[in-house]
């Protein structure tokens, strides 16, 4: 390097040499690497050096200026000054070269960044993109090895390497922090791995989630500020790419979830819209309106082998998918129990026995009202496991049928009891869910049990279907400006007047 610098500046040496020759010296020489690189005048040779001065650049002597003369008035001080001047010139030249190299590197890096930016969307395969990024990083930072590691769950290969990365998983974990880190040959990790240096740059997503990071090692010389900024910019690009990938995966998952929910909704609606049996002397109607796409409320009506009709309404705590899954489970368990026994309390006990462990594990319960109506005797047997509201209209008044045991899934033994009453012509039984009484208006008032009872008393002459419609309309009008918070389900049995 020094030789090149010297040769490029020969004209400057020649100017100084010419000035010296005019003072009457015999020859002026440039002494480098134990020989004369140049002597002025060129026809002369120097055999005896009268004066000499070292050329010191960057604290290192790179050569000497020699003068051959038999005159004693030649000034050593002047030669030292000239050597100092030439050395300073060489020093500046050297610095300009370094800056130029750095600028060229920087320009290369900028061009690469631009190329990466424009080609981002063209890479379908994220791993291939990461590999091409690392190749560029290694090339432009003049390192030998690189790796990108990602946290799990990002849908990307865990570690992508370029060149041999002599680092174990355990060691990777020890240096992978959320902070930028630079290790030199004096650090134990570099000594252990027999590498010159190592740079680690974390990759974050939305400035919060640590997605992983990029490491490079064995830089020729030291990592410059430009290298660090370049690697940082690359990591920001990777972060953007990952974020796009995550958004794509999220939207894909959302679309898949929506399609599955739509299917679940169809299944649930199909189950709840099974035609109700027609039974002599009574009107039966039911309707469900979930708060979300699918809900946790359910009702069921089935005709038993002995001619009686089982009517069930229930509410699984919670809403959405989890509640809907449990609702399906509960409906099936209740249906099986209702086909096996005619005693409502026994139906509840058996269902509780079937579901208690599962419900306890999940930490939820189900309120259920079960009634068995015997058309021949007009007897209604019912049992209530924590369900409200259940309304009965008889003798020109409405009352709430209170539960006599807690909901299914609370106690291993329910201790439910069955109750009976005759359904006279015009009597009405309504099993609803708490989405009715707990509906709030804009003043945070609840619809409440009292309004439900009043509504039934006032409109008891309506048909079961008309009554059902009225209840839904009134409650929806009450909570008009508010979002429906809970599922609403209602089943009505009315004996013909």
DSSP state of 440: B
For residue 468, how many other CB atoms are within 10 A of its CB?
A: 21
CB of 460 to another protein, least distance (A): 22
- What does each C-alpha distance from 11 to 4, 7, 14, 192, 317 come to in angstroms? 13, 9, 5, 50, 94
Residue 389 preceded by cis peptide, ω within 30: yes
Q: Binding another protein by CB under 8 A: which of 151, 196, 379, 411?
A: 411
Count of residues in contact with another protein, rule CB under 8 A: 27
Q: Which of residues 425-444 bind another protein (CB under 8 A)?
A: 434, 438
**Would you put residue 206 in left (φ > 0), alpha (ψ -120 to 50) or beta?**
left
Complex with another protein: residue 333 or 348, whichever CB lies closer:
348
**Contacting range for another protein; rule: CB under 8 A; set: 43-51, 63-71, 127-135, 395-403:** 395-403
Q: Which of residues 351-370 bind another protein (CB under 8 A)?
A: 360, 363-365, 367
Residues 6 or more apart whose Cβ sits within 8 Å of residue 248: none
Complex with another protein: residue 63 or 386, whichever CB lies closer:
386
For the record, the structure tokens of 296 come out as 């946790």
Complex with another protein: residue 130 or 316, whichever CB lies closer:
316
- Is residue 344 close enough to count as binding another protein by CB under 8 A? no
What are the strands, taking DSSP E only, across 11-118? 27-32, 35-40, 51-57, 60-68
Complex with another protein: residue 137 or 403, whichever CB lies closer:
403
CB of 404 to another protein, least distance (A): 6
Q: Binding another protein by CB under 8 A: which of 93, 105, 243, 404?
A: 404
Q: Binding another protein by CB under 8 A: which of 74, 159, 190, 446?
A: 446
Complex with another protein: residue 361 or 396, whichever CB lies closer:
361
What are the φ/ψ torsions at residue 219 (nearest 5 degrees)? Answer: -75, 140
For residue 14, how many other CB atoms are within 10 A of its CB?
A: 14
Complex with another protein: residue 358 or 404, whichever CB lies closer:
404
Name the nearest CA neighbour of 141 among 239, 57, 222.
222
Q: Binding another protein by CB under 8 A: which of 136, 315, 354, 427?
A: 315
- Is residue 486 close enough to count as binding another protein by CB under 8 A? yes
- Is residue 324 close enough to count as binding another protein by CB under 8 A? no
Complex with another protein: residue 83 or 430, whichever CB lies closer:
430
- Is residue 345 close enough to count as binding another protein by CB under 8 A? no
CB of 448 to another protein, least distance (A): 8
- Is residue 402 close enough to count as binding another protein by CB under 8 A? yes
Residues 6 or more apart whose Cβ sits within 8 Å of residue 377: 422
Q: Binding another protein by CB under 8 A: which of 160, 272, 410, 428?
A: 410
Complex with another protein: residue 343 or 404, whichever CB lies closer:
404
Q: Which helix (H) or strand (E) holds 190?
A: helix 188-193
- Is residue 347 close enough to count as binding another protein by CB under 8 A? no
How would DSSP label each residue in 336-394?
A: HHHHH-S-HHHHHHHHHHHHHHHHHHHT--EEEEEEEEETTTTEEEEEEES---EEEEE
CB of 413 to another protein, least distance (A): 12
- Is residue 318 close enough to count as binding another protein by CB under 8 A? yes
Residue 379 bridge partners (DSSP): 374, 422
Q: Given strand 145-150, what is the order of strands in its sheet?
A: 159-162, 145-150, 209-217, 198-205, 181-183
Complex with another protein: residue 365 or 381, whichever CB lies closer:
365
- Whether the CB-CB separation of 140 and 112 falls below 8 Å is answered with yes
Name the nearest CA neighbour of 36 among 76, 11, 65, 58.
65
**Contacting range for another protein; rule: CB under 8 A; set: 159-167, 210-218, 382-390, 475-483:** 382-390
Complex with another protein: residue 234 or 391, whichever CB lies closer:
391
Q: Binding another protein by CB under 8 A: which of 66, 219, 350, 387?
A: 387
**Contacting range for another protein; rule: CB under 8 A; set: 42-50, 197-205, 213-221, 397-405:** 397-405
- Is residue 386 close enough to count as binding another protein by CB under 8 A? yes
- Is residue 388 close enough to count as binding another protein by CB under 8 A? yes
Name the nearest CA neighbour of 19 among 97, 90, 100, 74.
74
How far apart, in whole angstroms, are the C-alpha atoms of residue 487 and residue 366?
14
- Is residue 462 close enough to count as binding another protein by CB under 8 A? no
Binding stretches for another protein (CB under 8 A): 315, 317-318, 360, 363-365, 367, 385-389, 400, 402-407, 410-411, 434, 438, 446, 449, 486
């Amino acid at each position: 390097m020094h030789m090149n610098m010297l040769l490029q500046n020969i004209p400057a040496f020649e100017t100084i040499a010419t000035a010296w020759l005019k003072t009457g010296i015999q020859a002026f020489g440039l002494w480098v690497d134990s020989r004369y690189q140049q002597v002025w005048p060129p026809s002369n040779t120097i055999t005896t050096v009268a004066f000499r001065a070292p050329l010191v650049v960057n604290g290192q002597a790179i050569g000497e200026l020699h003068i051959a003369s038999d005159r004693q008035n030649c000034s050593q001080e002047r030669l030292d000054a000239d050597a100092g001047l030439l050395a300073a010139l060489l020093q500046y030249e050297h610095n300009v070269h370094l800056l130029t190299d750095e600028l060229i590197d920087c320009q290369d890096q900028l061009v690469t960044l631009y190329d990466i930016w424009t080609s981002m969307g063209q890479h379908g395969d994220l791993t291939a993109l990461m590999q091409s990024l690392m190749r560029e990083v290694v090339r432009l930072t003049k390192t030998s090895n690189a790796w990108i590691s990602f946290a799990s769950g990002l849908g990307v290969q865990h570690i992508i390497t370029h060149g041999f990365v002599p680092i174990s998983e355990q060691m990777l974990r020890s240096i992978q922090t959320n902070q930028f880190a630079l290790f030199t040959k004096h650090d134990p990790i570099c000594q252990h791995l027999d590498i010159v240096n190592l740079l680690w740059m974390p990759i974050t997503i939305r400035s919060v989630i640590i997605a992983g990071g990029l490491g490079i090692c064995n830089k020729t010389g030291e990592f410059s500020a430009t290298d660090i900024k370049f690697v940082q910019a690359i990591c920001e690009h990777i972060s953007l790419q990952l974020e796009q990938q995550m958004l794509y995966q999220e939207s894909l998952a959302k679309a898949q979830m929506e399609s599955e929910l739509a299917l679940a909704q169809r299944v649930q609606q199909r189950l709840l819209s099974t035609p109700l049996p027609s039974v002599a002397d009574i009107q039966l109607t039911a309707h469900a309106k979930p708060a979300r796409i699918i809900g946790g409320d359910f009702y069921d009506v089935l005709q038993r082998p002995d001619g009686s009709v089982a009517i069930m309404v229930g509410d699984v705590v919670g809403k959405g998918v989890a509640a809907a899954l449990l609702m399906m489970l509960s409906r099936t368990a209740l249906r099986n129990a209702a086909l096996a026994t005619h005693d409502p309390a026994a139906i509840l006990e058996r269902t509780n026995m079937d579901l208690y462990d599962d419900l306890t594990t999940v930490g939820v319960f189900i309120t259920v009202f079960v009634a068995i109506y015997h058309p021949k005797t007009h007897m209604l047997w019912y049992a209530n496991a924590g369900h409200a509201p259940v309304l009965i209209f008889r003798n020109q008044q409405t009352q709430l049928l209170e539960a006599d045991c807690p909901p299914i899934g609370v106690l291993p033994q329910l201790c439910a009891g069955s109750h009976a009453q005759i359904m006279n012509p015009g009597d009405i039984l309504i099993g609803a869910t708490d989405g009715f009484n707990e509906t709030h208006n804009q003043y945070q008032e609840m619809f409440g049990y009292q309004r439900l009872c009043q509504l039934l008393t006032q409109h008891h002459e309506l048909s079961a279907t008309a009554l059902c419609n009225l209840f839904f309309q009134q409650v929806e009008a009450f909570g008009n400006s508010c979002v429906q918070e809970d599922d609403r389900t209602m089943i009505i049995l009315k004996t013909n007047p």
